[in-house]
Amino acid sequence: MKALVYHGPGQKSWDTVADPKPVDPTDIVVQIDTTTICGTDLHILKGDVPTVEQGRILGHEAVGTVVAVGTAVSGLAVDDRVIVPAITSCGRCSYCKRGMPSHCQATGGIGWIFGHLVDGTQAEYARVPFAETSVHKVPDGVTDEQVLFLTDILPTGYEVGVRNGRVKPGDVVVVVGAGPVGLAAIQTAELAGAATVVAVDVADSRLEHATRFGADHVLNSGGGDVESLIASLTDDGLGADVAIEAVGIPETFDLCTRVVRPGGVVANIGVHGAPTTLHLEDLWIKNVTITTGLVDGTTVPMLMKLVQSGKIAGELFGTHEFALDDMLSAYDTFADAGANNALKMVIRR
């Protein structure tokens, strides 16, 4: 089969590799019908994730069709249509049982294994471990594009941003970074009852997307005193109840800590490749809570129902389409997202 293979920092190629087969009894093999590229894949290519070995097939998001099942698999069958999420869950270890498959012990203590510790989904086929407790069947009547982003960014924005941020009815929520995962946080903040959602970015094109995804106010952080502007959007001028960091650089994390009110929450989503200074000399007295996290995907069934009912428009994330064999062009477009006004790539078989 053909697959996108990582060959070290800055190096990737569309190679011919061996077809996957079930290895363990709980495995399935999925034909990849639709996949995409994540910002985390770009972090890998920058060398920010040294645990990814050379020769690894990248990708951790897909919709596909089951083509083979292991001997212990009874709840899935050949020809079933499934989403393959970023997180793999054994369903049995202590972390899976407490609803934190992001730290599944059977997968090495980290649930994100596709395109990381095992071969991923940017390929014609993929082996899926612990299939029955990891994949989700796709309901009839929804398209691949509607459910593709349930594999990672939608549950990430909701779980790691909105839910970890403890967004509650009436809150003012600031999302710093209006890329795909920031837009997912914006889109799902209303599920928790946010009264006002403010998007902050340096690119006007991203802020235009933020408005489409439900932001009430958009602020270009390169054009003024963002802290004062955010304070002015609150009744008492004290800042946001929740600040969600969705970029992954020191400057944006620091901004979140400055715009959050006393007693508020900073929810970090961004993947950080460099150290960030935590200004405890300012924060210790503010009763600010800071959360971090990797998506668990436990909300995927709920989000799937909202997509199915039309309450969440998952297809809004897909701005560019490519054939699977044109994977390298899709990477070029995604890597220069600003120039291409790109959000997520929809890459079809």
Which tens digits make up the pLDDT trace of 39-65?
999 989 999 899 999 999 999 999 999
3-state class (DSSP) for residue 21: coil
Average pLDDT of every residue of the chain: 96
Q: How many CB atoms lie within 10 A of CB 279?
A: 11
Write down the pTM of the prediction.
0.95
pLDDT at 223 over 90: no
CA distance 127 to 134: 12
CA distance 29 to 172: 44
pLDDT level of residue 274 (50, 70, 90 thresholds): confident
CA distance 84 to 88: 9
Burial-class residue 309 by CB neighbours within 10 Å (0-12, 13-18, 19+): exposed
pLDDT at 273 over 90: no
Backbone dihedral region of 2: left (phi > 0), alpha (psi from -120 to 50 degrees) or beta?
Answer: beta
Query: What pLDDT is recorded for position 179?
Result: 94
Q: Retrieve residue 4's tokens.
A: 């996108």
When pLDDT is averaged across residues 133-150 and rounded to a whole number, the result is: 97
Q: What is the pLDDT of residues 104-124, one digit of tens each?
A: 999 999 999 999 999 999 999
> What are the residue ranges of helices labelled H in the chain?
39-46, 94-97, 144-147, 153-155, 180-189, 204-212, 226-232, 250-259, 280-283, 300-308, 327-335, 337-340
